[in-house]
Amino acid sequence: MSVMTGGNRVSGGERGSGRRAELLSIAAEMFAVRGVAATTVREIADEAGILSGSLYHHFESKEAMVDEILRGYLSAQLERFRRVVEAGYEPYTTVGELIHESFAALHRHRWAMAILHNEAGRLAEFDRFGYIESANREFERIWVRVLRQGQRNGVFRAGLSPRLAHRFIRDSVSASVRWYNPSGRMSVRGIAEQYTRIFRDGMVAPGGE
């Protein structure tokens, strides 16, 4: 068990608040597209059709909005990763599943992923966002365990650093949020498959080199 288990509780407890979720969704997209700092509270409010001060009826601060957005994504995604691991597949399969789950988030939590990818470094310095680092460590633990197990089994090439390999795939996947176009011709599933093949099997054709 670890940090992000409670997950996504909305201050004041989840109460009704279609409005709250609506505002959050507007904000998430803007934060992702323009950047958190570059998105003004007024712009969010404008987009929502209210005055900027009114946002503070729903959220304590701009920071609190970011917080809520990120917590939601991280806790849900950790949950999914854990479930994959608990399913007990072979490492070879697990790696594929993890990559698929990562890309699946591109649908469900697109903006949160983008925000995280773009601003994690800056945010992580604030105590408030300490959970980001914790979550990242947990993700790493999961990946490294699987890769290492695969190496022990002889399925994965020895001599490669599992931590480095994890970073390799993690960075690729998370950066994809910048260019992925949901209405483009490449489906998330398609991208995930290609990435899995490259990562797991390499560019080189069997007997190719």
Give the footprint of DNA on this chain (CB under 7 A): 15-17, 19-20, 38-42, 50-58, 60-63
**15 part of the interface to a copy of itself, by CB under 8 A:** no
Residues 39-48 as b/e (b if ≥16 CB within 10 A, e otherwise) read bebeebbeeb
- Give the CA dihedral 188, 189, 191, 196, nearest 10 degrees: 140
Residue 1 interacts with which of DNA, a copy of itself, none, CB < 5 to 8 Å by class: none
**Which of a copy of itself, DNA, none lies near 60, with the C-beta cut-off 5 to 8 A by kind?**
DNA
Kindly state the smallest distance separating residue 9's Cβ from DNA, in Å. 14
Contact 117, 132 (CB under 8 A): no
The gap from C-alpha 2 to its chain's centroid, in whole angstroms, comes to 17
Minimum CB–partner distance for residue 185 and a copy of itself (Å): 11
- Whether the CB-CB separation of 29 and 43 falls below 8 Å is answered with no
User: 150-179 mask for a copy of itself (x: CB under 8 A)?
Assistant: x---xxxxxxxx--xx-xxx-xx-xxx-xx
CB-CB contact of 111 with 178 (8 Å): no
Q: Does 147 participate in binding a copy of itself (rule CB under 8 A)?
A: yes
From the list DNA, a copy of itself, none, which binds 118 (C-beta under 5 to 8 Å, kind-based)?
A: a copy of itself
5 vs 194, beta carbon nearer a copy of itself: 194
Angle between helices 91-108 and 62-86 (to 10 degrees): 150
Q: Does residue 181 contact residue 130 with C-beta atoms inside 8 Å?
A: no
Binding residues for a copy of itself (CB under 8 A): 34-35, 37-38, 92, 95, 118, 121-122, 147, 150, 154-161, 164-165, 167-169, 171-172, 174-176, 178-179, 186, 191, 194-195, 197-206, 208-209
